[in-house]
C-alpha cells in the first residue's frame, strides 16, 4: 500500500514536470526564428548587445541594489515572518526593474554564456523567492506595509483594492515575462515556479465569475499567455482574455471609465489609440495574441483599426508614440509637437512588441517597416552611445531649457521610475529574434544584420548567412544553403526608405521621388523586381551556396509631414537609410537658429566618430557655411545641447504641399 502511494506521488511529480516542459504551443500562422538559432556578427548591433551584457546589466543591478529594490524582497520576507521593515524606492512597481533586468540577462546569455552573471542572477532569483507570500502573492511594497505605499499617489489598503494604480498586476506581468525568458534561456525553473505560483493565485482570485476586475497597467495579459505557452494551462489564457474582455465594459464591472488607462469603452470598440502609450501598446499586443490564438476576427479587426489610427495619425517620424507629458499619453490625431514630445522609450519598445505580433498574424511587411523605423530611431535614441545614460521621453527638438527628461535637458544615468533603462535591457539582447520568420515553405527576411542562422522549413534545414554593413551601406549578401536542394520561397522585405513612401498611410512622405531603384540578383544573375505586400518573393529550387545580392540605393532623403500636422507645416526632416537625422547646436554653433533645408540642397555624406562610435554623418553647404547633421539616435552624447529634427523648409514648391492630405 505504502509503495503504491509512493508510486502515485512519483507519477504525479513526473507528470507535473512533464507538463511544465511541454513543447511551446504556437498560435500565430507565422513562426519566429528564435534567438538561439541566430548568431549575430553585425558590426552595428553586436557591440550594442554586448554593451547591455557587459555594462548596462551590471549598472542596473547596482542601482537596484543601492536603491533597495532587491532588499525589498528580503524585507518582505522578514515582515511575513513577524519582523518589521520599510519599503525602499519610490515606485509601486520597483520590483519590475529587477524582473526586467533578469529578462535581459536571460536573452543576453543565449548566445553569450556568462556563468558568473548567470550565477549572480540565480542568487537574485533566490532573493525574489523570499519575497513571495505563501499563497503566491508578490508585490513587495504591499507585503511590507500595505497601508504605507512608497508613492503618495498609491492609496494603501487591502490586496487588489486599488488596481487602477497599485501596479500589483503589472508587477505580475513583468514577473511572468521574465520567468518565461529565464526558463527558456537557461532551462532553470526557479523563477518560473515563482511566476506559476503567482499566476495560479491570479486564476483563483480573478478567474472566477465573482471577481470581475482588470489591471490598471496592462502587461499581465501577454505575461499570462507566455505562461500558457510554456505549461499549456488554459486557465492562464482564459484569464488573459477575461482581463481584455472586461476592460471598458460597464455591463460587466464598475469601470474606471478613464481613457488614460483604456477603460473608457470595451476594447473591441476602441478604434483610436488613446491614453497612456505604454499601457496601450502592451494591451494591443495582448489583444493580438488573443486574435491569433482564438482566431478571433473581432479582436483582429480591433487591433487593425487601432494600428491604423496610431501609425497614420499619431506616430512621430522616429517611430515614437505618445505626444503628451501629461499622463504620458497619446495626443489627438496629428498632435505631434517636437519640443514637448513624450515618445517614451518604453512606448517605442512596446510598439515593436506589438508590431511583431501583427506581422506574425498577417504576414504584411508594413509592420516591419514600423519596427525598423522605431528600432533605429525611437528606441536607440533611448540609450547613450556608451550605455551609461538614458532618455525616458525622446523629443524631436531640444531648446536646452525645457527639462523634458524627468527634470533634465539631457540624458540621465537612472531614474526614480526606471522603466525605460530596464526595458532597453530586456529588449535589445532579443533583437536578433526579429530578423527572420517562417511560414510553411516560406522564409521571411525582415531585418538586415550580419548573422548566420539555422532554420527549418518542412522540406529541409537551411543555413543562412547575411554579410552586410547595413544600415551604413545598402548592399546585403545572403547565402542560402539548404541541407537538401529544395523548392521554397525566400521573402525579402523591401525597406520603406528604398521606396517612395516612408511609412504606411499619408502622415509623412518623401519630398522628392527616388531616381533609382534597388536591385536583386541570385548567383550574380539579375532578377526582375517584383514586390508584393512589401516583399520580394524569390521562389525557386534552392541549393547549397546560392547567393542573393541586394543593393538598396542609399541617399539622403527629405521628408515632409502631412499638412494636418500643423506644427510641421513647411518643415523638412532628413533620412539616410533607416536613420532619421538631426542637427545639434554643438556642430552648428553659428547657424543653428537660422538652419533651413531646401529642395535644392546637395548633401554630402562622410564618416567620423562621435565620441568613440563610428557614425555616418551628413552635411550641406549653404552660402559658404557648412551645416552638419548626425543620426538622431546619437544626439545628446555631448552634454546639454540644442537639437532639431524638423527644420524650416525654403523654396519648396507650394503645389507639393497642396498634394498632401
Ligand atoms: O507605470 C509603469 C511604467 O512607468 C509605465 O509603463 C511608464 O510609462 C512609467 O509610467
Ligand atoms: Zn519607460
- What is d(CA 604, CA 490) in angstroms, rounded to the nearest whole number? 35
Say if ligand 1 is within 6 A of residue 328 CB. Answer: yes
Does residue 283 line the site of ligand 1, with CB under 6 A? no
Cα 82 to middle of ligand 2, angstroms: 35
Cβ–ligand 1 contact at 347 (below 6 Å): no
Q: Is the CB of 278 under 6 A from ligand 1?
A: yes
Give the ligand 1 atom nearest the CA of 417. Answer: 4
Identify which of 96, 354, 417, 424 to mutate to test ligand 1's pocket (most ligand atoms within 8 A of the CB): 417
Closest-lying ligand 1 atom to the alpha carbon of residue 328 = 8
Closest CA to 479 of 442, 440, 428, 445: 445
Q: Give the cell for residue 660.
A: 498632401
CB 629 within 8 A of CB 581: yes
Q: What ligand has the least distance to the C-alpha of 419? A: 2
Of 89, 93, 277, best ligand 1 pocket probe by most atoms within 8 Å of the beta carbon: 93
pLDDT digits (tens, 9 = 90+) for 55-112: 999 999 999 999 999 999 999 999 999 999 999 999 999 999 999 999 999 999 999 9
CA dihedral of residues 342, 345, 346, 352 (deg, nearest 10): 110
Structure confidence at residue 637 (pLDDT):
97
Q: How far apart are CA 541 and CA 558, in angstroms?
A: 40
What average pLDDT does the segment 24-41 reach?
90
Describe the chain by its helix, strand, coil percentages, rounded to 5.
Answer: 40, 20, 40
Alpha helices in 516-608 (DSSP H): none
Confidence of residue 531 (pLDDT cuts 50, 70, 90): confident
Per-position DSSP letters for 309-353, written without gaps between them? HHHHHSB-TTS-B---SGGGB--STT---STT----HHHHHHHHH
The widest CA-to-CA distance across the chain, in whole angstroms, is 98
Distance CA 57, CA 102 (A): 9
User: Ligand 2 mean position to 392 CA, how many Å?
Assistant: 6
26 — pLDDT class (breaks 50, 70, 90):
low
Q: Is the pLDDT of residue 9 over 70?
A: no
Using the predicted structure, report yes or no on whether residue 276 has a pLDDT greater than 70. yes
The string of DSSP letters for 221-249 reads HHHHHHHHHHH--HHHHHHHHHHHHHTT-
Q: Residue 584 and residue 600: Cα distance in Å, rounded?
A: 22
Q: In the structure grid, which three cell numbers stand for residue 396, read together?
A: 524631436
pTM of the predicted protein model: 0.95
For residue 370, CA distances in Å to 317, 320, 355 come to 10, 10, 7
d(C-alpha 271, C-alpha 314), whole Å:
13
Helix (H, G, I), strand (E, B) or coil at 527: coil
* Domains in the chain with CATH codes: 38-246 (no CATH), 436-493+517-551 (2.60.420), 556-658 (no CATH)
Q: Ligand 1 pocket, 100 CB below 6 A?
A: no
The C-alpha atoms of residue 635 and residue 580 are separated, in whole angstroms, by: 11
pLDDT value of residue 503: 95
Looking at residue 80, the DSSP 8-state letter turns out to be: H
CA–CA separation, 268 and 265 (whole Å): 8
User: Does the C-beta of 94 come closer than 6 Å to ligand 1?
Assistant: no
Give the C-alpha separation, 596 to 12, whole Å: 72
Asked whether 346 lines ligand 1 (CB < 6 A), one says yes
Q: Atom 3 of ligand 1 has which residue's CA nearest to it?
A: 419
Closest atom of ligand 1 to CA, residue 170: 2
Gap between the Cα atoms of 565 and 107, Å rounded: 39
Instruction: Please indicate whether residue 174, judged by its CB atom, sits closer than 6 Å to ligand 1.
Output: no
C-alpha cell at 622: 549653404
Give per-residue pLDDT as tens, 466-516.
999 999 999 999 999 999 999 999 999 999 999 999 999 999 999 988 989
Amino acid at each position: 500500500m505504502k509503495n503504491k502511494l509512493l508510486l502515485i506521488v512519483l507519477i504525479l511529480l513526473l507528470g507535473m514536470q512533464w507538463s511544465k516542459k511541454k513543447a511551446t504551443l504556437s498560435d500565430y500562422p507565422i513562426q519566429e526564428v528564435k534567438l538561439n538559432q541566430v548568431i549575430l556578427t553585425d558590426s552595428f548591433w553586436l557591440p550594442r548587445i554586448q554593451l547591455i551584457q557587459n555594462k548596462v546589466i551590471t549598472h542596473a543591478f547596482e542601482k537596484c541594489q543601492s536603491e533597495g529594490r532587491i532588499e525589498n524582497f528580503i524585507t518582505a520576507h522578514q515582515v511575513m515572518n513577524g519582523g518589521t521593515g520599510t519599503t525602499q524606492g519610490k515606485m509601486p512597481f520597483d520590483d519590475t526593474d529587477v524582473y526586467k533586468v533578469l529578462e535581459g540577462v536571460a536573452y543576453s546569455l543565449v548566445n553569450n554564456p556568462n556563468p558568473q552573471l548567470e550565477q549572480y542572477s540565480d542568487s537574485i532569483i533566490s532573493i525574489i523567492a523570499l519575497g513571495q507570500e505563501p499563497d503566491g502573492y508578490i508585490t513587495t511594497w504591499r507585503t511590507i506595509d500595505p497601508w504605507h505605499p512608497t508613492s503618495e499617489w498609491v492609496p494603501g489598503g487591502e490586496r487588489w483594492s486599488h488596481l487602477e494604480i497599485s501596479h500589483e498586476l503589472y508587477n505580475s506581468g513583468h514577473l511572468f515575462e521574465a520567468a518565461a525568458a529565464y526558463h527558456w534561456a537557461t532551462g532553470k525553473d526557479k523563477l518560473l515556479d515563482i511566476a506559476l505560483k503567482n499566476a495560479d493565485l491570479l486564476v483563483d482570485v480573478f478567474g472566477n465569475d465573482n471577481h470581475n476586475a482588470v489591471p490598471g497597467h496592462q502587461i499581465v495579459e501577454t505575461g499570462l499567455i507566455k505562461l500558457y505557452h510554456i505549461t499549456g494551462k488554459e486557465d492562464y489564457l482564459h484569464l488573459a482574455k477575461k482581463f481584455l474582455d472586461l476592460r471598458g465594459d460597464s455591463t460587466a464591472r464598475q469601470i474606471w471609465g478613464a481613457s488614460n488607462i483604456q477603460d473608457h469603452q470595451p476594447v473591441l470598440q476602441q478604434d483610436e489609440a488613446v491614453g497612456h502609450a505604454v499601457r496601450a501598446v502592451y494591451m494591443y499586443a495582448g489583444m493580438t495574441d488573443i486574435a491569433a490564438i482564438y482566431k478571433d476576427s473581432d479582436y483582429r479587426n480591433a487591433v487593425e483599426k487601432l494600428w491604423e489610427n496610431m501609425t497614420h495619425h499619431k506616430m512621430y517620424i522616429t517611430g515614437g508614440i505618445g505626444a503628451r507629458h501629461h499622463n504620458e499619453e497619446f495626443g489627438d490625431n496629428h498632435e505631434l509637437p517636437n519640443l514637448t514630445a513624450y515618445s517614451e522609450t518604453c512606448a517605442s519598445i512596446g510598439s515593436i512588441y506589438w508590431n511583431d505580433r501583427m506581422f506574425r498574424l498577417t504576414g504584411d511587411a508594413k509592420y516591419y517597416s514600423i519596427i525598423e523605423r522605431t528600432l533605429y530611431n525611437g528606441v536607440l535614441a533611448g540609450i547613450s552611445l556608451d550605455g551609461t545614460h538614458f532618455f525616458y521621453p525622446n523629443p524631436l527638438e531640444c531648446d536646452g531649457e525645457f527639462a523634458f527628461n524627468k527634470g533634465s535637458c539631457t540624458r540621465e544615468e537612472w531614474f526614480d521610475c526606471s522603466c525605460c533603462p530596464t526595458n532597453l535591457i530586456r529588449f535589445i539582447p532579443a533583437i536578433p529574434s526579429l530578423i527572420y520568420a517562417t511560414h510553411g515553405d516560406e522564409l521571411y527576411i525582415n531585418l538586415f544584420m550580419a548573422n548566420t542562422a539555422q532554420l527549418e522549413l518542412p522540406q529541409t534545414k537551411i543555413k543562412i548567412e547575411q554579410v552586410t554593413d547595413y544600415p551604413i551601406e545598402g548592399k546585403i549578401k545572403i547565402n542560402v544553403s539548404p541541407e537538401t536542394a529544395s523548392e521554397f520561397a525566400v521573402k525579402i522585405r523591401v525597406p520603406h526608405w528604398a521606396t517612395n513612401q516612408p511609412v504606411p498611410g499619408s502622415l509623412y512622405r518623401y519630398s522628392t521621388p527616388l531616381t533609382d531603384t534597388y536591385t536583386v540578383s541570385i548567383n550574380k544573375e539579375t532578377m526582375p523586381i517584383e514586390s508584393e505586400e512589401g516583399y520580394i518573393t524569390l521562389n525557386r529550387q534552392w541549393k547549397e551556396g546560392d547567393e542573393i545580392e541586394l543593393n538598396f540605393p542609399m541617399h539622403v532623403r527629405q521628408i515632409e509631414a502631412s499638412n494636418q500636422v500643423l506644427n510641421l507645416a513647411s518643415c523638412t526632416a532628413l533620412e539616410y537609410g533607416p536613420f532619421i537625422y538631426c542637427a545639434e547646436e554643438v556642430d552648428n554653433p553659428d547657424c543653428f537658429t537660422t538652419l533651413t533645408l531646401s529642395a535644392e540642397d546637395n548633401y554630402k555624406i562622410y564618416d567620423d566618430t562621435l565620441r568613440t562610435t563610428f557614425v555616418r554623418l551628413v552635411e550641406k553647404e549653404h552660402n559658404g557655411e557648412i551645416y552638419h547633421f548626425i543620426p538622431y539616435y546619437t544626439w545628446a552624447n555631448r552634454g546639454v545641447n540644442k537639437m532639431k529634427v524638423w527644420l524650416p523648409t525654403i523654396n519648396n514648391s507650394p503645389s507639393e504641399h497642396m498634394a498632401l492630405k
